[in-house]
Amino acid sequence: MGAPPLDGQELRARAYLRAHHVRPFGHDTPRGSAMTTPPPPPEEPRWWATGPVDEQQPAAPPVPPADQGSGAPGVHVHIVPPTPPAPAVDPAAADRRRRARRWVAAHGAAAFTGWTFGLYDAITHGLLEPAGRGATPAGLALAAFAYAGAEFVGERYGRILPRRWRPALLWVLRIPMATALLATALHAPNAHI
């Protein structure tokens, strides 16, 4: 008769024992055969030999390890989550937000400059406090007059100056308007700030 056929489990067990130089109980090492040393592991590439790493490319989704014949019965399912979609960006809305932030920063800096150089106190004590309950319309009228003057002077005399100085000139001319609006908002009666 012969030896019984070997199944997969027994073949894997024998391969494992052989890889670790282990002999089953009752089996001696055959005479004349010395135990061989395992082959050295493959050498990993050195960091200087791998080349430059491109950090700007997005990382690839993780790949599940391939089933190496684990021998477990059943179906093996590997779930890889999909990459999330990129958020939709509306260029017109982004441009509006950028321009609004720029407007607030420029006029806020102009109002702070007016506050620093005493224009705020002059508007508050010279116009708004004496006006009493009519301080809000007086402050808004002063801001509108300062804006119209800034536009007139900027259009008329902005052409004389070099082109690169025009934004700075317009910013300086808007300091009275921004300061008048700030003073009106902070010290007018019934102000809700």
Tens digit of each residue's pLDDT (9 = 90 or more) over 45-94: 665 555 555 555 555 655 555 555 555 666 767 788 888 887 777 888 88
Tokens 């800034």 identify what position? 150
Tokens 């012969």 identify what position? 2
For the residues 5-32, what does the mean pLDDT come to? 71
Question: Rounded distance, CA 177 to CA 123, Å?
Answer: 11
Determine the pLDDT at residue 53. 53
Determine the pLDDT at residue 40. 72
Determine the pLDDT at residue 28. 61
Tens digit of each residue's pLDDT (9 = 90 or more) over 134-177: 888 899 999 999 999 998 988 888 888 888 888 888 899 999 99
Assign 178 a pLDDT band (cuts: 50, 70, 90).
very high
Assign 192 a pLDDT band (cuts: 50, 70, 90).
low
Tens digit of each residue's pLDDT (9 = 90 or more) over 83-134: 888 777 788 888 999 999 999 999 999 999 999 999 999 999 998 888 888 8
Angle value at C-alpha 132, between 130 and 136, nearest 5 degrees: 110
Determine the pLDDT at residue 71. 58
CA distances from 177 to 61, 70, 111, 136, 155 (A): 55, 78, 8, 14, 17
- Model's pTM, two decimal places? 0.51
Question: Rounded distance, CA 165 to CA 160, Å?
Answer: 10
Angle value at C-alpha 110, between 174 and 168, nearest 5 degrees: 65
Determine the pLDDT at residue 189. 64
Tens digit of each residue's pLDDT (9 = 90 or more) over 19-47: 877 766 666 655 555 555 666 766 766 65
